[in-house]
Structure 1
Amino acid sequence: MQNFERLHALTKEELIGLIEIYSKNWLAMDGVWFQSIERKYGMEEAMFHDGEAWKRFTVMEAKRIKEFLGLPDRAGLEGLAKALSLRFYANLNRDEIRVEGNTLTYRTLTCRVQQARERKGMEFHPCKPVGVIEYAGFAKVIDDRIGCKALSCYPEVTDPSCCCSWQFTLHE
């Protein structure tokens, strides 16, 4: 049986369960390579490589989701909202998306990465610098008119009601 034949044989519920497993596996792999560099070379070196990886991955992910959704070149904030909701880890974290006028606010309410690091007694991942690369790069693929800034993200937490918060602005 070919791989895709196996997938076609699964029920909708089984496919959803498999997507959850794939998402967890992807996130675990992301953490495993990061922690390997962190242990051997320190946080600064791990963050450098994390940023380099996200510069490339976020563009690939956004292009594939954009194509899957059939979004136009300039999909606007509504297109960004749809695309953000389908990111690989979107089904693992609880999040919230609000669109008001020419801005979209994306808030991660629970973060599996930070929860795992806390559970292991590790310092939180200082995700803001990489998050800027990740979210700004993702948004630019969806619509090149969209700018991004961090509102609250470790280590600069300004909103303790969420794990991180990002603002996307559509510049016409």
Structure 2
Amino acid sequence: MEKVKNLTDAEKAEYFRKSYTSVDGLWFMKVEELFGFDEALKIDRLVWSIFPKIQARTLRTMLKADKGIEGLARCISAKHSVEGFDFEAKMDEDGRLLRLIISKCPWHELLVRSGREPLSERVGTTICNVEYATWAEEFGDGARRISFSLESQICKGDGVCTFCFEESEAPRIPEGRHSSGAL
């Protein structure tokens, strides 16, 4: 019997990255075969409203990152590095606005390679909005909230994706009142 080769850490990371992207696309295509594209996208949206919570919490623990925009910047940069994005994370001078500028998106490239580029805009717009809004929510806390907006997207023909995360003070609810305004 031939000696089994031990994988390097880089090979292990590539194996799991490829498995992760493959299973994401495979389950989508199987749901699409059974129920159609619109239903598959609806289910994908539900998955990507939860999965980023797991990613964010895992990376926050691993990186010992705090909540807030700085913790978000550290963790989301780690996520994008691991997933094979080409990107730059830029924080404004007052430390309240994070711009994530993506010049290469592996998810868009995967759709292009698989001949599904015409669907990329719908998938990208739907999933990126829910995924990154969830990341923003995960790094807000009682005193601060982080909002998310998309300024540009590769899948819409722009040269880069520009994702903006802005930290602000959370609205204060007067004591004795509930968020609905009732006493």
TM-score after normalising by structure 1? 0.80
Decide which of 138, 158, 161 is 2:159's aligned counterpart. Answer: 161
Say if 1:140 and 1:147, in contact at 8 Å, map to a contact too.
yes
Say if 2:147 and 2:167, in contact at 8 Å, map to a contact too.
yes
Decide which of 100, 107, 112 is 1:106's aligned counterpart. Answer: 100
- Once the two structures are superposed, what CA deviation does each residue of 1:31-88 show, in whole Å capped at 9, x if it has no partner? 111122233333211110111101111111111111111123xx32221111012227
- Residue in structure 2 matched with residue 3 of structure 1 by the alignment: none
Residues in 1 aligned to 2:154 and 2:45: alpha-carbon distance in whole angstroms = 15
Task: Check if 1:80 corresponds to 2:72.
Answer: yes
What secondary structure, in the 3-state scheme, does the structure 2 residue paired with 1:55 have? coil
Say if 1:23 and 1:88, in contact at 8 Å, map to a contact too.
no
What secondary structure, in the 3-state scheme, does the structure 1 residue paired with 2:115 have? coil
What secondary structure, in the 3-state scheme, does the structure 2 residue paired with 1:160 have? coil
Residues in 2 aligned to 1:56 and 1:107: alpha-carbon distance in whole angstroms = 23
Q: Give structure 1 stretches of 5+ with no counterpart.
A: 1-9
C-alpha RMSD of matched pairs (Å): 2.2
Cα deviation, residue 30, structure 1: 0.6
TM-score after normalising by structure 2? 0.75
Larger radius of gyration: 2
Residues in 1 aligned to 2:132 and 2:77: alpha-carbon distance in whole angstroms = 13
1:1-172 to 2 correspondence within 5 Å? 14-72=8-66, 75-87=67-79, 90-100=82-92, 101=94, 102-122=96-116, 123-125=118-120, 126=122, 127-144=124-141, 145-153=145-153, 157=156, 160-162=158-160, 164-172=161-169
Residues in 1 aligned to 2:42 and 2:87: alpha-carbon distance in whole angstroms = 26
Residues in 1 aligned to 2:80 and 2:104: alpha-carbon distance in whole angstroms = 15
The structure whose RCO (Cα within 8 Å, separation 6+) is larger is 1
Taking every aligned residue pair, what percent have the same amino acid on both sides? Answer: 24
Cα deviation, residue 91, structure 1: 3.6
Say if 2:65 and 2:74, in contact at 8 Å, map to a contact too.
no
Cα deviation, residue 142, structure 1: 2.1
Residues in 2 aligned to 1:37 and 1:90: alpha-carbon distance in whole angstroms = 27
